[in-house]
Every structure is written in structure tokens, then in C-alpha cells.
Amino acid sequence: MSLKEELSGIRGNKRKFLLLRIADVSTPLARNLCGVSVHSYNQWVSHAGNRFVEVYRRRNELAAEYQHEAILMLRKENQLAAVLLESEIIKKLATELETGEYTLLRTNLAREVYSKLISDLNTAPASQVHSWEQRSQQIVQILSGDVQPRIGVIEDAEPQEISSQQEEHQEGNLLTTGE
């Protein structure tokens, strides 16, 4: 039998709490990580005869056999949560690009998401850091499928134009870091 089978029927915070306890995390820390109050925890463990209590009473036995599997299951759940969160952030950025109301797009978080999107498209990272306006234009072009991403390349630009664009970028950087 596997740990997944042992935890069948237990969902949500109770499942995460059990995985943390089986992975040898202390009770207070596991409660904290799950966002569970002492009162809720006491209610969980006081209802004898339910599946949670049965498994919780065997946690030392399960830890001896399934500790590594519990850690792997927690990691997978955290990765899934991170992917879902990233998806929501990308949706929000796309909405801002469509509406023209830039709030999240101007933050450092947007810069990180932008960097990840570009790296996911197998594009070499740029040596030049772009302003949020330049990043938003590139994301719009990439999402619309019109252009393959080309970072740091300014076509048909005179040397003076490039230096003025770099100055604008530096001003944009100062604004972004000051937020």
C-alpha cells in the first residue's frame, strides 16, 4: 500500500497537515503552514472514528515507511499551486494589456513573470533590461502570435536613437524601483 492510498478520502488542509506531520514537521509549524487554528486542530483530533484520526494516530508508523513519499507529495502539491498562481498572474497581465490599465504590469512581479515567459520561449536573456512599456509591447506581440520574441534587438535604429531609448529605459527603471 502507498501513502496516497493511506490518505484516500482526506482532502484539503487535513491532507496537507498529515503530509507535513508524516514528513516530521512539528505540530505547531504544520498548523501554521496550513493556516489551521488550535481550535480547529483540536476539533480534528477529537472526533474519534473518522479517517483523519485513524491515519493521524498511525503517523509515526507511516513516517517510518513513507516519509520520503510525503515530502515528494508536498513538493508536487506546492508546484501545482505555483503553476496555478502563475497562470492567474499571466491572465491578470493579459487583461491589463487589453484594457490599458496598468497596475500589476508596472511591478517587479511583472518583470519576473516576463523573464520567465521569455525564457520559456527559449529566447536568450537580454543584456539590456527593458521598461515595462517595452515588455508589454513584446508580450502583446508574442501572445497575438505576430512576432517571434527577439529581445534586445532594435532594428533600423540610428546610434543616437539607441542611446535615447536607453536613457528612457534608465528613467523607467528609476520609476519602477521607486514604487
148-169 pLDDT, tens digit each: 545 444 444 444 444 445 555 5
Number of domains in the chain: 2
Residues 6+ apart with CB under 8 A from 172: 131, 132, 133
What span, in angstroms and rounded, lies between the C-alpha atoms of 32 and 36?
6
Question: pTM to 2 decimals?
Answer: 0.51
Residue 168 and residue 107 share a domain: yes
Residue 116 and residue 69 share a domain: no
Residue 110 and residue 78 share a domain: no
Domain for residue 69, yes or no?
A: yes
Residue 60 and residue 18 share a domain: yes
Residue 106 and residue 50 share a domain: no
Residue 115 and residue 80 share a domain: no
Q: Provide the residue range defining the domain that includes 57.
A: 3-85
Which positions of the chain have pLDDT values less than 50?
149, 151-164, 171, 173-179
